[in-house]
Amino acid sequence: MFWQLYMKVFETEVRVRFNEVDQWGIVYYANYFTYVEVARAALLEQVGLLPVLLSGIGYTAPIVQLQSNFRSSATFNEVLTVQLFLIPQATAKLVFGFTIRSKTTGKVVMDGESTQVLLNNKGFMVFQFDAELSEKMAALHDFFHLDTPQP
C-alpha cells in the first residue's frame, strides 16, 4: 500500500491468552479484530481522542466497513505486533489500515482496513469536521506524518 511509504505506523503488542484460542490451540478468528481494537484504543488514547471525548462533544464514530485477509495463524501465548496506519481521506471519516504479525516468526497473521464514519448526536453523518473536532483530529493526523515530532 503506497501511502505507508509516507506515513508513520503506530505499533503495539498483544499476547494471545488461553481463552482466545479454539480446541486446536489456534486463535479464534474474531479475536484478531479485538487485537486491532486494542491497538486503536491505545493510539486514540495517546493522541487524546478517546471515544468518551467524542461522545462528550456530541459525536459517535461507528465502524461501517471492515475488510480483512487472514494470512496465517497465531497460537496460545504467542506475542503479536499490531500495526496501524491512517489512510488519508477527503471527508470526515477515519480509515485505518492494520497488520498483525507474529513477533516470533515475523509472518503476517492478518491485514486489512477499517472505516469509521462520524455521526452527530442526532444520528446524521457528518462530512466535515467542525472547528472543535478539527483541532482534535489534527493531533491524530499529525501523529502519522513523518515530519511531525513525536511525544
Per-residue confidence (pLDDT) for residue 151, from 0 to 100: 47
56 pLDDT more than 70: yes
Assign a CATH topology to domain 2-143: Thiol Ester Dehydrase; Chain A (3.10.129)
Give the pLDDT confidence of 74-97 residue by residue, as tens digits: 999 999 999 999 988 888 888 999
Q: What are phi and psi of 144, to 5 degrees?
A: -85, -10
Of 11-25, 33-47, 110-124, 128-142, where does mean pLDDT reach its minimum?
A: 128-142
pLDDT for res 90: 80
Say yes or no to pLDDT of 49 above 80: yes
Report the distance separating Cα 48 and Cα 46, nearest Å: 6
CA-to-CA distance for 95 and 102, rounded, in angstroms?
Answer: 23
**C-alpha 147: how far from its chain's center?**
21
Q: Assess whether pLDDT exceeds 70 at residue 4.
A: no
Is the pLDDT at 134 greater than 90? The verdict is no
- In sequence order, the 6+-apart residues with CB closer than 8 A to the CB of 52 are none
Task: Return mean pLDDT, the chain.
Answer: 87
Model pLDDT, residue 6: 53
